[in-house]
Amino acid sequence: MELFNYALGKNITFVRPPYFIIRGFVGIPNVKYYYVFLFFVYIVSVLGNTAVMAVIYLDHNLRTPKYVAVFNLAFVDLFGSSALVPKVLDIFLFNHNLIPYNDCLTFLFFCYSCLSMQSFNLVALAYDRLIAITYPLHYQAKVTHRFMFSLIASFWIFVIIAVLIAVGLITRLSFCKSVVVNSYFCDHGQIYRLACNDFFPNDVVSFFYPVLIFWIPLVFILLSYLYIGYTLSKLATVHQGMKAFKTCIAHLLLVVIYFTPLLVTFTLMEKIHPNNRILNLSLTSVFPPMLNPIIYVLQTEEIKVSMRKILKIRGGSKITIRKSVKV
């Protein structure tokens, strides 16, 4: 950050507070029940995403380009939930709402990186389905392990750079008025608007960030499914079309769960109450990581078969050990 500030301006003194105060969830009735709910959601997220990652790792049949993206999604969900929920519970359940300046920016970085990477991971899965259905004969050549690893790595690099720019611009702000952040975490928009010097660059980033992270991925996903629908409409039988479309159901559910709350928040930003905005965004942060592994387990036949096979092998090995002990 020192180099960042040096590159943008010399001999500038910034007023940096020792801490920020996270204020969110104030004035919400029976909010402690919501914290219990968040804890339950976090436990399910950890167990579900760990199980999906373990199944993909243990079953060599699932080490395909598609499941590279699924594995990365489970990792992002697990990492993002672990970065956000325990800290949120610590802040509000145990009244540790004073967060040191550097810790707050670190908190912001990890939360934004994981939330943004979820969006791009859905793009990677949409591309996989697009090629698999519209160009089935070329799928093996177009969607290789090398391609999928490169695609996900490029998304990670882009997200990290974008979030670092947002965090770096905050370090150039002076906070000589309020340090109370009206959100449930160190939210970029809520923090930079507290500054008492010019935050126009932050405003620019705040405008373009949702476009790059939210709108462009969503438009790509919608266009890919329009093309998939057009391709399926040309198939000879309805049965073939339905069979191909079933492979997209899990991904479509993930898209709806992730993008719908964000779409509502962005389009009704000025009309909804701040508390409703905070609740909506917090649910957007914790719900997809919990539901993603459940959806993939229930809707993807390959994962269900792999889980049965792994459980059967483990169960069989335990029975064999018991029999040998008795003998």
How far is 74 from 95, CA to CA, in rounded Å? 30
Specify the pTM.
0.88
H-type helices in 268-300, by residue range? 274-299
Average pLDDT in the 41-69 region? 93
pLDDT in tens, 192-233: 999 999 999 999 999 999 999 999 999 999 999 999 999 988
Confidence of residue 314 (pLDDT cuts 50, 70, 90): low
Is it the case that residue 48 has pLDDT exceeding 50? yes
Strand duo 19-22 + 98-100: pairing? antiparallel
For residue 19, what is the DSSP state? Answer: E
pLDDT in tens, 286-305: 999 999 998 887 778 888 88
CATH number attached to the domain at 2-326: 1.20.1070.10
**Phi/psi at 25 (5° precision):** 70, 15
Q: Which residue has the tokens 């509000």?
A: 92
Contact 161, 179 (CB under 8 A): no
How far is 115 from 286, CA to CA, in rounded Å? 10
DSSP letters spanning 200-259? HHHHHHHHHHHIIIIIHHHHHHHHHHHHHHHHHHTSS-HHHHHHHHHTTHHHHHHHHHHH
pLDDT > 90 in the chain, percent? 64
Model pLDDT, residue 298 = 76
Model pLDDT, residue 309 = 82
Contact 128, 73 (CB under 8 A): no
How far is 51 from 34, CA to CA, in rounded Å? 26
Sheet strands (E) in the chain: 19-22, 98-100, 180-181
Please report, for residues 52, 63, 317, the alpha-carbon distance to residue 60 in angstroms, rounded to integers and kept in the order given. Answer: 13, 5, 19
